[in-house]
Structures are given as structure tokens and as C-alpha cells.
Amino acid sequence: MAGTTKIGQAAVTRWRSRRLAVQLGALGVAVITATVACSSGGSGSGSSGSSSNKPALLSKSASGTLAEWNWDIPGDDPGESAVIPILIKAFEKQYPHMHVVNTSMSLADQNDKLPLAFASGSSAPVVSETNEGLQNQGRLVADNELIPLESYNKLYGWFSKVGPLPLQFNSLPATGKTFGSGNVYGVPETGTVVGIFYNRALLASVGGTPPTDWATFTSDLAKLAKAGKTAMSYAAGQPTAYQPVHTLYTIADHYVSAAAQNAFVFHTGTNQSIDTAGFVQAAATFAAWTKDGYFPAGYQSLSDVQALNLFDQGKAGFFLEGDWYSAPVEKALGSKAGFWVPPVVTGGPGEGWSIPSKSPNPNAGAALINTLLSPPIQDALLKYGDIPAVTPSAQALAGASPVLRAAAAGWSTSVHSGNLVPYLDYATPNFLNQEMAGIQELQAGKISASALMQSLQSDYTQYWSSQG
């Protein structure tokens, strides 16, 4: 699926394209080749690369040009794109003799361009976003083209602000051949969670209440179905309906600890397995929801956009998906819309910001990353519809829409409590393909919950055994 699924439409393109991008990067799938003009990475503190720069706070009197690269183009990341000018203004105010030159490009352009550009001091930017995963960030690490960021963390304290799990997505050993441990090579500015949108009015019409725990949520599902309503807007068709896996993950988050799921995805500890009682119970619950008629008729052929529209039209009580759908949901339902983030929740960070080994001024690059994580920029991200990686101020949260406010609070709580779970399909190259096919058979009653988990574990064991 990672190599064939088309990117979706309009308001939901941004994160689906990002999620797919992480799949491509983490699993080693080839990306589209494109050519972009190079931007100079000059700076006022020398252009001989990082060897002449020891990690240090950037002087307020520092001067020169800071070239930064990102893939925050309006079509992919409208919120982050809107914040770039704010970031530049804030940085240049703090360092009045520095001039920031911004280069935004598509993800495909960036994945193709970075390895070659980072290899030379004459073409490497000062700082850049990099795409997580083995094929992208891993390739740069293996070629010694990124600086480990621990020394700058000692100066700025980034890691405690962002939290350990988001940093795992940007952590690799020096070989770049495994994912989720080792040195940190990127610091994300945003996050996202898969939660549960609900329609307050529709719930009230059947005697339900907005969910605050699993028991209330499942009780509401049953009440909606009993009243002849569509309990959950859900799609299993193409293009890009991730709801089958997102639904399974959300159910699994109730039955399986975050620690166990993290160990499985990042292959840490011993005896990592998805063929356990908790995961089997999650799959069995998914099958039961299907049998009990919680999903719309014909869900097998519905696309993700059709499922969104069904919910936006007030024809379903719940819509289980990521916070990236917040804007269209609130535009359609207004105050009727709510968003519940379960205590353990699936999600992940946005792209990490990295410093090339050949950066003309790594200390300036670190200063820009620090500005990205500052309250004014993190609050601005929330204003423009993104979940900031760092917990935003109370004032910023109060000014956010109710749905986004709930999502941001859920992200912060889960990150700092250790209850954020990565997408399980990051576990192996074929996991998502096999999982999607297996869920389809599960919902059709062709395989059991236990058989689905045995199949996925077989794929996992085979893959990791082959890695030596």
C-alpha cells in the first residue's frame, strides 16, 4: 500500500501525505525523483563546515545568512507554512544581524535533493527538516551527513520539552540501519493523534453523552445502533482509507499497554509479539463492532473523504480518525463537534529539524531550532491548526477551537505520561499491506481475530530474523 496508494484531497491531504511519507521513509520504498535548484547555505561565521564550530549558544551579535530548508509548502502543510514567516521574523529580531533565507519544497524534492546537497559544504543549508525513517534520515546518518543533537540539547534543553517518544522517531545508531534508538538527529515542532470525533447533538438524541472513558464510548455506540443510527462513520475502500488500521489501533490502545506496543514497533526488549491476548481481544472487538452493525452500509467501498462527509453531514455519531480532520469537522458541525483522546493514543511527531554535518553554521541552525520550540512559535502553530510539539500556553489553548484544543491537550498528556503509541504498521515493510488485507477478511468473517494476529506476527518474526 505504501507504494501504490494515492494521496488524498483538500483539507485532509496534509497529514495523510505526511503519514505516507513516513511509511516510504521508514520502509525503504523509493520516492519520486525530482530536481530543484540548490540554495546557498552561507553564514557569517564561516563556510568551512561544522568542523570549525564547537556547539555553543549563538551570539546575539552573530551576523550572516542562515539558509533553512523545509517541505512546509501550503499544499502539504498549510499551518506550518503560515508560521514560517513568523519564525523568520522572531529569529531575526533575536539575532538582528542574521538574515534567514527560506526554501520550501515538496517532500519528493527534499528526499531526492538532501543526500547530495548535504554532502558538500558549498550546497548544504544551515538547518533543514528531514524525513524520519531508514531510507531518508537513516541514509543521511549512515553517510555521516547529520550532526547528533545531544550536545545542543545540553545547551537548550529541547528533549525534555518535546518528550522521549517523538524523539524516538528521529533516533538512529550511527549505522543508520535501525530505527527508534541511538542518537537523536532531528527535533520535531508538531505532533498528531488519532482520536474520536463525536456529534454532541446526535449522541444526545439517543440518550448518550460525550465520551470521557471507554465504557461511555462503547455504550454510546450501542445506543446509536439500537436507535437505528450509524454509530461510526467508517470507510474501508480506496483511495487512502486508513480507518481500518486506525480503528484497530485505537481499540488495541485500550487493551494493550503503550510500553508493549512501543517495544513491538521499535523492536526493543525481548519476545516482541502482536500475537497476545490483548491484541487478539482488540481484533475480536473490531469484528464484533462490524457484526453489530456499527458501521455504515457499504463501508467496504467508501473512501476516506466519503466517510468524512457522512460524519460532517450529521449522519453518524462518531468518526474515528486523526486530528488533521479537525478543520473540516468543525466547519461542518460547529459546536456540535467534539474530540476525545483516549488515555493511551496512537500518534506521532511531525518531521524533525536537523543540522547537516556540512552546515556552514551549526550553532545558528541550533538557534533556529530553539526558536521553533519557543512559546511564540509553538502557540502560532496552534493558531494555524497544528498541534505544537511543546505544550502550548494556557492562553493559546483557550484561543484554539475546542476540537483542536482537546487534541493538543491529549497529545501533551500522552507524550509526557508515556502513553503515546506509534503506528503499528511501522514495524515491518510489509506490515501495512498484510494488516489491511487481514482486517478486510476479519470484517468479512473469513478469518478469526487470533488468525489475524498470528499472520501479522509471522510477518514480523520473518522480517526481523532476516535482519540478523
In the prediction, which pLDDT does 239 show? Answer: 63
Residue 53: pLDDT band with limits 50, 70, 90:
low
Please indicate whether residue 79 or residue 38 has the higher confidence score (pLDDT). Answer: 79
- Of the candidates 144, 446, 201, which has an alpha carbon nearest to the alpha carbon of residue 335? 201
Name every residue whose Cβ is closer than 8 Å to that of residue 418 and which is 6 or more positions away in sequence.
Answer: 164, 165, 258, 259
Of 427, 433, 353, 337, nearest to 389 by C-alpha is 353
Nearest 5°: the CA angle 114, 372, 191 is 80
Give the pLDDT of residue 238.
Answer: 78
Topology of the domain comprising 10-189+353-390: D-Maltodextrin-Binding Protein; domain 2 (3.40.190)
**How far apart (Å, rounded) are the C-alpha atoms in residues 137 and 97?**
31
In single-letter form, the type of residue at position 364 comes to: A
Domains 10-189+353-390 and 192-347+421-466 share a fold: yes
pLDDT tens-digit map of 418-432: 999 999 998 988 999
167 touches 422 (CB < 8 A): no
Q: What is the CATH code of the structural domain delimited by 192-347+421-466? A: 3.40.190.10
Number of neighbours of residue 417 by Cβ within 10 angstroms = 12
Contact in structure between 318 and 333 (CB atoms under 8 Å)? no
- Domain ranges across the chain: 10-189+353-390, 192-347+421-466
Answer for the pair 42, 360: CB distance below 8 angstroms, yes or no: yes
pLDDT at 368: 98
Residue 317 dihedral angles phi and psi, to the nearest 5°? -75, -35
Secondary structure of 282-345 in the HEC alphabet? Answer: HHHHHHHHHHCCCCCCCHHHCCHHHHHHHHHCCCEEEEEEEHHHHHHHHHHHHHHEEEECCCCE
Q: Poorest-confidence range of 35-39, 312-316, 319-323, 347-351? A: 35-39
The phi and psi torsions of 197 (rounded to 5 degrees) equal -75, 145
